[in-house]
Amino acid sequence: MKPFYSRINFEKGLLLDYDKKVIRRISDIIPYVSDSKAAEEMAENDDKIVYEVLQRNVPQEPGHIQHSITIIKPGNIQGELFMTKGHYHGNEQSAEIYLGLRGRGLLVMQKDEQTEIIEMRKGTAAYIPPKWAHRTININADQDFVFMSFFPGDAGYDYKKLQQEGINIRIMKDGDNYKEVNI
């Protein structure tokens, strides 16, 4: 393949060139939220977009570096703030870097009994070591949270493992702020 580039608008926190857009709505994240019943009802009434992932097409092979931008909308489901599904990498040796571009969010990571949380904003570069599950949450009530991800071409996704073991910490709306709730 040939070299290429993408343009990022840092003012707006947007990837201007992308090959594919994945849209996740409330109906897509029902099994991942604490109150799945509330999510089902919300999805029936108004199936809002929770997040979008803008991706560049790169071969999903060792040696390549996949990169994409995630835009998480503001909102909550029965108080649980809008978030990504969260995953382990299918290839568990794969690390990842998240770079904050706009808004404010939390990066929640889990490995065995350990949980780590990094608050992210524009300019935060967070390192997710191999074997740590990761999920991001928008903690702003009125602004998107946008970050860029860089990860190995063959990282893959294991959503099922995290869904089955469950995540230990939920991020709930608390007035204009948020609170961490241990499960």
Residues found near ligand F6R in the complex (CB under 6 A)? 53, 68, 70, 84-87, 96, 134, 136, 149, 151, 155, 157
What's at 29, amino acid-wise?
I
Nearer to ligand F6R, 93 or 174 (CB): 93
From the list ligand F6R, Zn ion, none, partner contacted by residue 76 (C-beta under 5 to 8 A by kind): none
Nearer to ligand F6R, 80 or 96 (CB): 96
Nearer to Zn ion, 132 or 173 (CB): 132
Main-chain dihedrals φ then ψ at residue 159, nearest 5 degrees: -80, -35
Q: What DSSP state is assigned to residue 5?
A: -
String of contacts with Zn ion for each residue 91-120, x by CB under 5 A? -----x------------------------
Contacts of 3 (CB under 8 A, 6+ apart): none
From the list Zn ion, ligand F6R, none, partner contacted by residue 88 (C-beta under 5 to 8 A by kind): none
From the list ligand F6R, Zn ion, none, partner contacted by residue 86 (C-beta under 5 to 8 A by kind): ligand F6R
Nearer to ligand F6R, 42 or 133 (CB): 133
Nearest approach in angstroms of CB 96 to Zn ion is 5
> How many CB atoms are located within 10 Å of the residue 111 CB?
14
DSSP class per residue in 120-145: E-TT-EEEE-TT-EEEEEE--SSS-E
Footprint of Zn ion on this chain (CB under 5 A)? 96
